[in-house]
């Protein structure tokens, strides 16, 4: 954990997130946040043109309240605002860059339940903002709000054609010499931000689409559906007789897929599917960045093919940092965040799905056939709910238990303890060659964590 993350009060690994109605996800705090961000943008602008920002949101009912608070804060600081309503997080990143805006804001708690919410920021290039910027915003939130005169207030308008712009962008990332004609796709939109934009993307490329999770009501986002509940897309794919299933999360930046039999493939599998095709075409563009959670099978497979591979800290922002450092193009997480830097500035579930489909269409194979040479090692992840997760990582009993597990594995696997950046959880991961052994070791270590808590 770097020094900046130690000092941050509100920002976590992916913006600000929490339970609606408790700090910092309250109208008052978000109003101050909007003003602080706006004041920072105004102070760093050339003073000749008023800064402009975009606000998007997912389908949570609390999005209306938080959108209004942010809008008021920005206007009070002298910043113009474009509203796009429910749109995927990567759509906000794309449109912010395409429209030459100074910042983009997404109101979402991603894969969390509906009674959580959060705020994510993008800079004018469509990239997530660095720790130093977040620290500057937190400092400004402690200062008094000083609204300017009426003529200095920002204006607000709605960008009506935002969905169409994003749909066309997604389609442009798919090879022009390929299409999806004859392919039957089952799609789960998680009752989230993609419900009205992703189905047209696949349909307009020629696929026969069967959609679930596309009737959001404000509280059903991610509810037993989407990328965090892939059992639903597995069953839906089988029941519709689809060739392939695609499940997105609530804000559209992560995905899972399944084949016609309902077999589920996670972000590690999909990252390998894309890398394998690009390597064969000679367009991989260097190596691949994974995370501490990436299955060791990928590292081993990449090594056998001569593909450089690096691990970053968990979080798509750290994957992107690794890609930028090495000037590579492809990276991702097993949770389903996949970044294709030659297609987008951030992780995009719809764009990533199109890259997987492009590989399958170009090679005329099914998903299971394409991934038949990837032999995953059993990996058990147990989320232990604790209030002081970061402190427990350094607890003497937990450290001793971790060392014992490592000694048992003796180089045949890995063990990792990681505090969640968005929830009060300590994630216990054990990976090895024998599932029964791995599961037992993970349970033993999780039990020590619970006792130490």
Peptide bond into 24 cis (omega under 30): yes
**Backbone angles phi and psi of 62, in degrees to 5:** -70, -10
**Backbone angles phi and psi of 384, in degrees to 5:** -100, 120
Which residues face 55 on adjacent strands?
83, 105
Which residues face 442 on adjacent strands?
none
| E runs forming strands in 14-149 | 15-19, 52-57, 80-86, 103-107, 116-123
* Residue 334 exposure: Cα atoms within 13 Å on the Cβ side: 18
DSSP 14: T
**Backbone angles phi and psi of 85, in degrees to 5:** 70, -155
Q: Sheet containing 264-265: give its strands across.
A: 208-212, 184-188, 244-248, 255-259, 264-265
Residues whose CB falls within 8 Å of the CB of residue 172, separated by 6 or more in sequence, listed in order: none
Q: What is the distance between the alpha carbons of residues 134 and 402, in angstroms, rounded to a whole number?
A: 33
Known catalytic membership, residue 110? yes
SS3 233: helix
Tell me which of 108, 110, 232, 335 is the catalytic residue.
Answer: 110
* Residue 35 exposure: Cα atoms within 13 Å on the Cβ side: 21
Percentage helix, strand, coil for the chain under 3-state DSSP, each rounded to 5? 40, 20, 40
SS3 61: coil
Q: Sheet containing 11-12: give its strands across.
A: 11-12, 15-19, 116-123, 103-107, 52-57, 80-86, 156-158
User: Looking only at Cα atoms, what is the longest distance across the chain?
Assistant: 69
Nearest to 190 by CA among 355, 59, 55: 59
| E runs forming strands in 276-419 | 288-291, 309-312, 330-332, 338-340, 379-385, 414-419
Which residues face 210 on adjacent strands?
186
How far, CA to CA in Å, does 171 sit from each of 99, 175, 230, 380?
19, 9, 25, 36
Residues involved in catalysis: 110
């Amino acid at each position: 954990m770097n020094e900046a993350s130690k000092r941050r009060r509100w920002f976590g690994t992916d913006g600000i997130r929490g339970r609606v109605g408790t700090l910092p996800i309250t109208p008052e705090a978000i109003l101050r946040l909007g003003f602080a961000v706006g004041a920072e943008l105004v102070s760093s602008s050339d003073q000749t043109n008023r800064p402009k920002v975009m606000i998007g949101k997912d389908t949570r009912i609390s999005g209306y309240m938080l959108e209004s608070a942010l809008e008021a804060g920005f206007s009070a600081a002298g910043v113009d605002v474009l509203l796009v309503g429910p749109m995927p997080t990567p759509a906000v990143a794309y449109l912010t860059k395409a429209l030459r805006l100074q910042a983009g804001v997404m109101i979402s708690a991603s894969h969390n339940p509906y009674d959580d919410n959060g705020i994510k920021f993008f800079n004018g290039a469509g990239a997530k903002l660095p720790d130093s910027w977040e620290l500057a915003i937190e400092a400004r939130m402690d200062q008094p709000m000083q609204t300017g005169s009426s003529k200095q207030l920002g204006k607000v308008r709605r960008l009506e054609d935002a969905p169409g712009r994003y749909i066309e962008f997604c389609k442009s990332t798919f090879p022009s010499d390929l299409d999806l004609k004859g392919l039957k796709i089952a799609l789960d939109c998680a009752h989230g931000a993609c419900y009205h934009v992703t189905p047209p993307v696949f349909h307009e490329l020629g696929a026969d689409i069967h959609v679930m999770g596309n009737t959001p009501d404000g509280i059903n986002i991610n509810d037993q559906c989407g990328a965090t509940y892939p059992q639903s897309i597995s069953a839906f794919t089988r029941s519709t007789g689809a060739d392939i299933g695609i499940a997105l999360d609530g804000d559209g930046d992560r995905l899972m897929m399944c084949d016609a039999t309902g077999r589920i493939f996670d972000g590690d599998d999909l990252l390998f599917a894309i890398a394998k095709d690009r390597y064969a075409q000679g367009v991989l563009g260097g190596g691949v960045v994974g995370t501490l959670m990436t299955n060791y099978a990928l590292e081993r497979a990449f090594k056998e093919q001569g593909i450089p591979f690096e691990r970053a800290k968990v979080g798509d922002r750290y994957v992107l940092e690794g890609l930028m450092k090495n000037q590579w193009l492809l990276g991702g997480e097993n949770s389903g965040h996949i970044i294709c830097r030659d297609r987008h500035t951030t992780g995009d579930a719809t764009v990533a799905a199109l890259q997987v489909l492009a590989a399958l269409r170009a090679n005329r194979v099914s998903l299971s056939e394409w991934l038949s040479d990837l032999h995953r090692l059993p990996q058990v992840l147990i989320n232990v709910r604790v209030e002081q997760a970061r402190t427990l990582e350094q607890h003497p009993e937990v450290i001793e238990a971790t060392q014992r597990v490592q000694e048992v594995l003796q180089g045949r696997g890995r063990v990792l303890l990681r505090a969640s950046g968005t929830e009060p959880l300590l994630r216990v991961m054990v990976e090895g060659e024998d599932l029964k052994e791995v599961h037992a070791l993970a349970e033993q270590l999780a039990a020590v964590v619970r006792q130490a808590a």
